[in-house]
Each structure stands twice: as structure tokens, then as C-alpha cells.
Amino acid sequence: MRTLRVILLIAGKDLRSEIRSRQNLATVLFFALVVLVIFHFAFDLADVSFATVGPGLIWVAISFAGMLGLQNSFVREGEREGLAGLLLSSGDPAAIYLGKAIAGLAALLVAEALFLPAAALLFNTDLRPAAFPLAVVVAVHTAGFSAVGTLFAAMALKVRRGYLLLPVLQFTVTVPLLMSAVKATGGVLAAGTLDGAGIWLRVGVAYDMIFVSVAAMLFEPLIED
Amino acid sequence: MRSLPLHLLLTVISVLMIGVLAAVFGDTVLLPFSAYVPTEATMGIVQRIFYFHVPAAITSFLAFFVAFVASIGFLATRRLEWDNVALASVEIGVLFCTMVIVTGPLWARPVWGAWWPWEPRLTTTLILWLLYIAYLLLRTYTENREQQARFSAVLGIVAFLDVPIVYYSVQWWRGVHPVVFGPGGGGIEPRMRHAFLAALAAFFLLYLLLVIHRTRLARMEDQVEDLRAASAAGAP
């Protein structure tokens, strides 16, 4: 019960500071859109069907931009020994981890809710017929992304030049998650229902369950100094 | 005389490796073993890469598993010896993994017609290779020995848990790898099996020898560091 309260308090704290500044959201959203524009000029997407490249583009943009957002959530704690403060006041590293990961997930979901319609517009496609299954697929895979990113962002905070280390770890460990996200997104967009995601939705959920539980256990050795 | 078993181990590996090399190079090397192992009917001489490729792959998976166990061992006991074993095992695992990634395309080009067909097991090995290079990279970023061991242990666990997910995802993504062993596998000629088992033993023992030496080296590095710190502390 107490653990749940700590988790919610920490997630609430992060989200409040997120809402107050909105700088993080603006940066993530802006960066995701810039990635799309870069892709457009790299591959001249006017000639390519959205069904073949769209899901991949969306997820590369989300991965790149999302990593920036997750990193920022820990930079904030690093500035005034915030992590030590959280640890002293709660004494529960797993709860701190879960709170941060939930806040990271919520912030990314808000960014995605704004980003996906913009992406649909830019690629002249209509995502609305598959809105619900798409939302499920996006939430499931963003959760895994936040779970791993929160763990590695804490690691990156503790070392010099951690901003270089985070992408190295994050993108390598989330390779299977990206595969699953792209396949599941393509599947639901083609079918219009959640069944279109097939096995990939289960891959996403399995990834979430494994990494949330393992990262919650491994968070303590990361922040103990 | 502590190193006598290691010398024996080295001798056994050398003998096995001569046999394996003869099997791999086949008709081009005039050794009894090369005549013993037949050349595959359709693929020809290039099939002999198999005796290097598959044992190297199996040994690298084993190496990463050992690193996983050693990482858990470190976090449970906080003894640096565990971290030394993990580091040694990852380094040797990456070495063997590199051999897999180099020999795979050499075989795939003549047989499948492409150097890198993004075939599931080769792709899994590539991702595995990247994961453990990231592990070695992480070790260069950390601030002190103790933090290095802790952070590496965390990644050693996370990376290994990623492996089965990568494996199955890549399988479901697309698949054309020849399955030689197990259900659906073609099986192999008995003399080829002998060559394969000799190669597997040679690679496994080589891994063992290298890990023992590398762990010992890592321990000595720690000792040198301790002595340096002690003498710096004792200096006026």
C-alpha cells in the first residue's frame, strides 16, 4: 500500500513538473516531427505507400524523440541530488523506478497523441479507422520503451558523458521491441482491428512484463551511491 | 605447478584444433582428418565452414550465459571476482561471436547468393554482438571499479534476458536458416558428426582456457590498482 503511494507520488511529482514547464513535451514533439521531415527528404515519401514505410517511420521518430524525453526526466533529478533525496524520503528504489517509468510513459503517451495525428496528416493517411487498436499497440510498446529507458537513464545520470551512453544501451536493448512495435502497428493499420497485431501484441506485453519487473529489481544497485 | 592443468588443457585444444582445421580446409590440407571427413555433395567445400561457424556460435551463447550467471553472482555477493569472470566471458563471447558473423557471410554468399540475407539466426547473432559490445562500451564509461562492476552486472542481466526475445522476434519476422539438428533438421553424416563434435569440444575448451587466463589477468589488474592506491595513501 505504501509502495503504491510512493509510486503515485513520484509519478505525480514528475508529471506536475512536466505540466508546469511543458519544455520536455515541446522538445519531444518537435524532434519527432523533425525526424519525419528528415525521412521525407531522405526517401521522398510522396512516392511511397504509407503502409510499407509508415509504421517504421513512426516508431523510429518515437524512439529517437522518446529517448530525449526519458533522459531529461533524470537530468532533472541529477541537478540537485534529487535522486538521493527521493531515496532518503521513500527508501524504496523499486517504487522510485516504477514512479519514474510511469511518469515517462504518461509523458510519452501525451506526446504520441499529438504526434500521430500530425504524422497522419503529413503522410496523407487516415489513422482514425484503427484509432483504438493503434492506441493499444502504441501504449503497450511505449511502456516497454519507458521501462528500459528509465533504467538506462538512471545509469547515464551516474557517469560522465552519460548522454552518449544512453542511446547505445537504449537502442540496442529495445531492438526486439522496435521490431514488435513496427509489425504490430502495420498489422492493426492494415486490419483495422486489434487482431491484426497477431503475435506481436503478445511480444510487446511479454517484453513489458520482463523488463518492468527486472528493471524494478535492478534499480537499487544502480542508484545506491 | 598450478598451471600444469592449463598446459594440459592447451595441449588437448591444440590437438583438437589441428583436426578441426584439417576438417575445415578439407582437400587442401593433406592431413588424415581431412580425408576422413567427406565433402558435402551440393554445397561442396564451403560447407566445411560449418565446423567453425556452429561451434563458435554455441560457445558464444554459452559465454553470455556464464556472464549472466556471474552478473547475478556479483550483485548477490558484491565480490569483484564475479565481475572479473563476467568481463572475461563477455570478451571471449564477443570474440567467438565475431567469428560467427565473419564465417556466416562467407558461407551464405556461395550457398544463398548473398553475403548478408538478414537471416534470423545470423541477425540474432548480430544483435547479440551489438548488445555485448555495448556491455564492453559501458565498462569504459563508469567512474570507479565498484560502479563498473555494478553497472556491468545490471547490463549483463538485461542483455541476456533480451536474447530469447530477440531470437523469437527475428524468427517470426522472417526465416530461411538451414536447420541441421533437432526436429525438422536434415541431420548429418556420421563422420561429419565426429568432426563437428571434435570442433565443439575444441571451441568449448578454448573458451574455458581463455576465460581462466582473462579472469586471472583481470584479478591481477585489480591487485595492481589496490597496491597503487595503498602506496599513494601511504606516501608522505
**pLDDT tens digits for range A183-208:** 999 999 988 888 888 889 999 999 99
**pLDDT tens digits for range A1-30:** 788 888 888 888 888 888 888 888 888 999
CA distance A178 to A56: 8
Residue A220 C-alpha cell reads as 537499487
Chain B 91-110, residues with CB within 8 Å of chain A CB atoms: none
pLDDT of residue B188: 73
- Residue B183 in this model has a pLDDT that exceeds 60: no
Tell me, letter by letter, the H, E, C secondary structure of chain B: CCCHHHHHHHHHHHHHHHHHHHHHHHHHCCCHHHHHCCCECCCEHHHHHHHHHHHHHHHHHHHHHHHHHHHHHHHHHCCHHHHHHHHHHHHHHHHHHHHHHHHHHHHHHHHHCCCCCCCHHHHHHHHHHHHHHHHHHHHHHCCCHHHHHHHHHHHHHHHHHHHHHHHHHHHHHCCCCCCCCCCCCCCCCHHHHHHHHHHHHHHHHHHHHHHHHHHHHHHHHHHHHHHHHHHHHHCC
Does the CB of B75 have a partner CB in chain A at under 8 Å? yes
- The amino acid occupying position A56 is G
The three-state secondary structure class of A30 is: helix
Nearest-CA neighbor of A202 among B168, B117, B25?
B168
CA of A183: which chain B residue's CA is closest?
A: B173
**pLDDT tens digits for range A60-89:** 999 999 998 888 877 777 777 777 777 777
Nearest-CA neighbor of B174 among B93, B95, B119?
B119
A159, B143: Cβ pair inside 8 Å? yes
Residue A135 C-alpha cell reads as 492506441
B165, A160: Cβ pair inside 8 Å? no
Percent of chain B scored above 70 by pLDDT? 83
The three-state secondary structure class of A184 is: helix
Mean pLDDT along residues B130-152: 94
B158, A211: Cβ pair inside 8 Å? yes
CA distance A124 to A72: 32
Split at pLDDT 50, 70, 90, the class of B211 is very high
pLDDT of residue B29: 58
**pLDDT tens digits for range B85-135:** 999 999 999 999 999 999 888 888 888 888 888 888 888 899 999 999 999
CA distance A224 to A88: 11
- The mean pLDDT value of chain B amounts to 84
- Residue B1 in this model has a pLDDT that exceeds 50: no
Does the CB of B131 have a partner CB in chain A at under 8 Å? yes
What would you report as the CA-atom Rg of chain B, rounded to the nearest whole angstrom?
20
Is B135 in contact with B149 (CB distance < 8 Å)?
Answer: no
pLDDT of residue A169: 94
Cα separation of the two ends of chain A: 27
Burial-class residue A176 by CB neighbours within 10 Å (0-12, 13-18, 19+).
buried
Chain B nearest CA to A168, separation (Å): 6
Mean pLDDT along residues B146-166: 93
The ipTM is 0.90
Mean pLDDT along residues B65-90: 96
Mean pLDDT along residues A99-126: 91
**pLDDT tens digits for range A210-220:** 999 999 999 98
- The mean pLDDT value of chain A amounts to 89
A169, B155: Cβ pair inside 8 Å? yes
Residues of A in Cβ contact (< 8 Å) with B171: none
Does the CB of B20 have a partner CB in chain A at under 8 Å? no
pLDDT of residue A145: 96
CA distance B120 to B108: 13
pLDDT of residue B176: 47
CA of A222: which chain B residue's CA is closest?
A: B151
CA distance A168 to A170: 6
CA distance B56 to B133: 17
Is B97 in contact with B129 (CB distance < 8 Å)?
Answer: yes
Mean pLDDT along residues A155-177: 91
Please state the pTM of the whole predicted model: 0.88
pLDDT of residue B45: 67
Split at pLDDT 50, 70, 90, the class of B35 is low
Q: Please, what is the Cα angle at B138 between B133 and B141, to 5 degrees? A: 140
CA of B164: which chain A residue's CA is closest?
A: A176
Residues of A in Cβ contact (< 8 Å) with B141: 159-162, 164-165
Residue B29 C-alpha cell reads as 590440407
Mean pLDDT along residues B67-92: 96
Q: How many CB pairs under 8 A join A and B?
A: 83
pLDDT of residue A137: 95
Mean pLDDT along residues B201-217: 91
pLDDT of residue B31: 60
Mean pLDDT along residues A24-53: 86
A222, B154: Cβ pair inside 8 Å? yes
